[in-house]
Structure 1
Amino acid sequence: MMSGKHFKAQEVSCCIKYFIFGFNIIFWFLGVTFLGIGLWAWSEKGVLSNISSITDLGGFDPVWLFLVVGGVMFILGFAGCIGALRENSFLLKFFSVFLGIIFFLELTAGVLAFVFKDWIKDQLNFFINNNIRAYRDDIDLQNLIDFTQEYWECCGAFGADDWNLNIYFNCTDSNPSREKCGVPFSCCTKDPAEDVINTQCGYDIRAKTDAEQRTYIYIKGCVPQFEKWLQDNLTVVAGIFIGIALLQIFGICLAQNLVSDIEAVRESCLFS
């Protein structure tokens, strides 16, 4: 006859099993959603019919973010769900080890970002300038840059003149573009009275004096504005990272606990 203690242990193991399953099925569905969005965006760009176009962009393609995040979430969610439901110790170990590696990488990245913050700043400058060059090459990239400049109320990496890097906005005499010596509309200061966005508000603005520019566009660059935003929201950012880290540790502990229970049951069956 099963002892009360053994029955209680099985009940706890069953609770852990279904908790891990429910916890991971959310991430599995989110992973599928992110992958679906990424593949749909690629399909809209024609990348799926012409794989060579992946390398055409000079800047960052935001679709990669959806594909990478979606892929990782899909793999983790799948391993966690099936591992818990089928009581498969291999998948559960894979889930906990993979989650542990991600946690370690996040921790390492956080420490390195603090130690090499000046290098990170230079890389961010390089990243933004690279994407400024490719601004008109991809609609997703364009939307990302516009959102960044509007949200942080900035223009370019360190100032509006960084838009000289783009062939459409540079101020050279040989530039035939109507956007010559201008900036994208996302650099423009917003007039609360205007309901419709004036996409031509940045035309010829950099041909004017600095005093006139300050009236119409954001003067500060996105790198210093990002640093300011990070300092102002340090508590919130730290809280989010700590929350994610605790969830990962909790998931690893639950998976390892369930693996121990599964192996203990198998051993008891072998010796019974």
Structure 2
Amino acid sequence: MMPGKHFKVQEVSCCIKYFIFGFNIIFWFLGLTFLGIGLWAWSEKGVLSNISSITDLGGFDPVWLFLVVGGVMFILGFAGCIGALRENSFLLKFFSVFLGIIFFLELTAGVLAFVFKDWIKDQLNSFINNNIRAYRDDIDLQNLIDFTQEYWECCGAFGADDWNLNIYFNCTDSNPSREKCGVPFSCCTKDPAEDVINTQCGYDVRSKTDAEQRTFIYIKGCVPQFEKWLQDNLTVVAGIFIGIALLQIFGICLAQNLVSDIEAVRESCLFS
């Protein structure tokens, strides 16, 4: 180096470095949360076998979705954290490339969901009807369908008559159940004055006329109620998805920026 001459040494931006670290800590904890949910559900063997049977996905267990998503988020968060702290360009490139792949898959899934919305609607209908058939087989599935009907203020997939699919609620002459031609209590309209739930409110209700049924139970099915909820909350739902997409793009840009800084520092060290 010639005396009297000074070379400006490139530095890695500390702001970007620690921002990526913080970004990935959140990502890492979210991955741990998903893994925890998946592992907890995996331990509930009876629940899992019933969930697998009603999804109609060839034995695919939905808990695997939690485990895979949680595992991917955990690995990416770990790679981003270590890559930022250790200024490891390989881990940062790994993080940004796979985050880009996930973003592309999400975009593809969104387009396919829009194109095949009728197929998704049919799958939702099938899922609810399978739940109806298995309503008394498992307490967790029973709670799931009760929560759905209470939350959406609905009954059945497309109406109360869908409960004919259940052996305890169907209206056939051979049905000896006291719940014959009825619906679960979660289909009943709520009286604000009642503090205690009347679990027998749905007994014999489907043997009444349509006009009489309206005063006792929800008439609309859960599929159209879900569609209505999506339309009413379209802005919120779209905002959440756009926000997630922007965070992913932001993370990719920051990681690539940090990689550029790291490589520039290495080059400046070589030529200084």
What is the TM-score normalised by the length of structure 1?
0.82
Distance 1:4 1:150 in 2: 80
Distance 2:267 2:80 in 1: 23
CA contact (8 A) 1:33 1:70 kept: yes
Deviation string 1:38-77 (CA, Å, 9 cap, x unpaired) is 3223324457999999999999977555434433332322
Deviation string 1:159-182 (CA, Å, 9 cap, x unpaired) is 111122233333333434443322
Distance 2:265 2:157 in 1: 59
Distance 1:93 1:100 in 2: 10
State the shift of 1:89 in Å.
2.3
CA contact (8 A) 1:136 1:142 kept: yes
Partner of 1:19: 19
Please tell me the root mean square deviation across aligned C-alpha atoms, in Å. Answer: 4.0
Change (3 A) 1:48 1:269: farther
Number of matched pairs: 272
Change (3 A) 1:50 1:142: closer
State the shift of 1:11 in Å.
5.9
Report the more deviating stretch, 97-106 or 240-249.
97-106
CA contact (8 A) 2:24 2:80 kept: yes
State the shift of 1:235 in Å.
1.3
- Determine whether 1:29 maps to 2:37: no
Report the more deviating stretch, 218-227 or 82-91.
82-91
Report the more deviating stretch, 215-224 or 171-180.
171-180
Change (3 A) 1:185 1:266: farther
Distance 1:219 1:161 in 2: 10
CA contact (8 A) 2:155 2:221 kept: yes
SS at match of 1:178: coil
Change (3 A) 1:165 1:74: farther
Change (3 A) 1:152 1:55: closer
SS at match of 2:268: helix
Structure 1: 5+ residue stretches without partners = none
State the shift of 1:241 in Å.
1.3
Q: Name which structure has the greater RCO, CA cutoff 8 Å, separation 6+.
A: 2
Change (3 A) 1:154 1:142: same
Report the more deviating stretch, 188-197 or 177-186.
177-186
Deviation string 1:176-214 (CA, Å, 9 cap, x unpaired) is 444332222221111101122223322332222222221
State the shift of 1:251 in Å.
0.9
Structure 2: 5+ residue stretches without partners = none
Change (3 A) 1:60 1:139: farther
CA contact (8 A) 2:182 2:205 kept: yes
Distance 1:89 1:154 in 2: 53
SS at match of 2:44: helix
Taking only the aligned residue pairs, the percentage that are identical comes to 97
Distance 2:4 2:41 in 1: 56
CA contact (8 A) 1:57 1:134 kept: no
Partner of 1:139: 139
Change (3 A) 1:110 1:49: closer
1:146-185 equivalences in 2 (<5 Å): 146-185=146-185
What is the TM-score normalised by the length of structure 2?
0.82
State the shift of 1:245 in Å.
1.0
CA contact (8 A) 1:57 1:138 kept: no
State the shift of 1:131 in Å.
2.8
Report the more deviating stretch, 3-12 or 186-195.
3-12
Distance 2:5 2:250 in 1: 25
State the shift of 1:217 in Å.
1.0
CA contact (8 A) 1:59 1:130 kept: no
CA contact (8 A) 1:62 1:141 kept: no
